[in-house]
């Protein structure tokens, strides 16, 4: 039997994740009292009918978070096998979600929303470190969250809690505000001035071949790949769950798209991290 405990920050999408778990065949119980956790494990195992079970436990239980940590430690000591899925989101995203839904935070009471969120994050810090899977929903679409849930619990693929986005962009349209790392490739010759390439993009072979013919492009990629290979495990150890690597040129159509695609090709074989690529400005009238 596969037993999953779903917990995390209020407003981070636990209810949505629970519905997705149900869709892939899990028997789901939400808001289970902490005191019933181990008895429920035993009943589930004895039934013989339940092969996949997901249990939601969070601040709504009304019990101190320390009790959940103690209950999990005792369950492990008693020989139960289970996984912890921790759902989280950035503070500004949680604030926005609460304001949009006009709901009150379970720990805020008469205090400000920020206070409740801060208290919950502090209390959950230790539990987060013990989690087997961490999903940050700050910038995930519902479709992308479903893909992550399926990948972990349906396809049994490994997951190291870091979701990487490689993003190409044009400086004339501004640096992406959610960037963690920004790299400028305007030092490379611009295909915009080459006859026949102006209206093409880095998705086209002709542009790719033009940009990658320069040794500087390969040197840049080699050094960038080395840097990222060094940074990734350190980001994971510090608890970072999302990383946006932005690569920019003037208009975001030629050089940045080419280099973003090349970097994606170098990182895609690393099974330890989720990876996607986006081209923010590829369809804009970029001029130069």
* Per-residue pLDDT tens digits for 55-103: 998 765 555 667 888 888 899 999 999 999 999 999 889 888 887 766 6
Quick check: 282 and 203 in contact, CB under 8 A? yes
**What integer is the mean pLDDT of 263-286?**
86
Per-residue tokens: 145: 């969250």
What is the dotted CATH code of the domain comprising 2-153? 3.40.50.300
Domain with CATH 3.40.50.300 in the chain: 2-153
| Max avg pLDDT among 126-130, 149-153, 264-268, 269-273 | 264-268
Q: Determine what percent of the chain is predicted with pLDDT higher than 90.
A: 52
Dump pLDDT digits (tens) for 150-185.
888 887 654 456 789 999 999 999 999 989 999 999
Dump pLDDT digits (tens) for 15-56.
999 999 999 999 999 988 888 999 999 999 888 888 899 999
CA distance 196 to 193: 9
Task: State residue 159's pLDDT score.
Answer: 47
**CA 230 to chain CA mean position, Å:** 19
Per-residue tokens: 98: 């609460």
Structure-derived torsion over alpha carbons of residues 63, 67, 69, 75, reported in degrees to the nearest 10:
-120
Alpha-carbon Rg of the chain, whole angstroms? 23
* β-strand partners of 169: 248
Q: What residues have CB less than 8 Å from 142, skipping those under 6 apart?
A: 16
CA distance 236 to 131: 13
**What integer is the mean pLDDT of 235-239?**
76
Phi-psi region of 202 (alpha: psi -120 to 50; beta: other; left: phi over 0): alpha
CA distance 136 to 1: 26
Closest C-alpha to 7, from 30, 38, 27, 36: 30
**CA 191 to chain CA mean position, Å:** 34
Q: What residues have CB less than 8 Å from 215, skipping those under 6 apart?
A: none
Given pLDDT bands bounded at 50, 70 and 90, which one contains residue 264? very high
CA distance 227 to 166: 14
Q: What residues have CB less than 8 Å from 152, skipping those under 6 apart?
A: 85, 133, 159
Per-residue tokens: 25: 């065949």
Per-residue tokens: 53: 């079970």
Q: What is the 3-state secondary structure (H, E, C) of 37-89?
A: HHHHHHHHHHHCCCCEEEEECCHHHCCCHHHHHHHHHHHHHCCCCCEEEEEEC
| Other CB atoms within 10 A of residue 131 CB | 19
């Amino acid at each position: 039997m596969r037993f999953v405990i779903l917990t995390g920050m209020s407003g981070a999408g636990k209810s949505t994740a629970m519905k997705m778990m149900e869709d892939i065949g899990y028997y789901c119980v939400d808001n289970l009292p902490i005191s019933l956790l181990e008895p429920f494990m035993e009943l589930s195992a004895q039934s013989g009918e339940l092969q996949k079970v997901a249990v939601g436990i969070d601040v709504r239980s009304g019990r101190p978070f320390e009790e959940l940590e103690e209950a999990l430690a005792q369950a492990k000591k008693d020989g139960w096998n289970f996984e912890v899925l921790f759902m989280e989101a950035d503070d500004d995203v949680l604030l926005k979600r609460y304001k949009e839904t006009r709901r009150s935070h379970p720990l805020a009471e008469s205090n400000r929303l920020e206070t409740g969120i801060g208290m919950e994050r502090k209390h959950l810090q230790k539990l987060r470190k013990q989690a087997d899977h961490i999903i940050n929903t700050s910038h995930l679409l519902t479709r992308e969250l479903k893909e992550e849930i399926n990948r972990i619990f349906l396809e049994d693929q490994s997951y190291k809690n870091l979701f990487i986005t490689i993003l190409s962009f044009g400086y004339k349209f501004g640096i992406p505000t959610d960037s963690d790392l920004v790299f400028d490739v305007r030092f490379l010759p611009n295909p915009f001035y080459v006859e026949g390439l102006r209206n093409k993009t880095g998705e086209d072979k002709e542009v790719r071949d033009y940009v990658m013919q320069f040794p500087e492009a390969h040197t840049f990629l080699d050094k960038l790949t080395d840097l990222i290979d060094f940074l990734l495990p350190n980001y994971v150890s510090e608890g970072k769950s999302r990383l946006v690597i932005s690569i920019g040129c003037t208009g975001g159509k030629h050089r940045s798209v080419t280099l973003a695609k090349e970097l994606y090709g170098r990182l895609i074989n690393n099974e330890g991290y989720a990876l996607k690529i986006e081209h923010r400005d590829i369809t804009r009238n970029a001029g130069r």
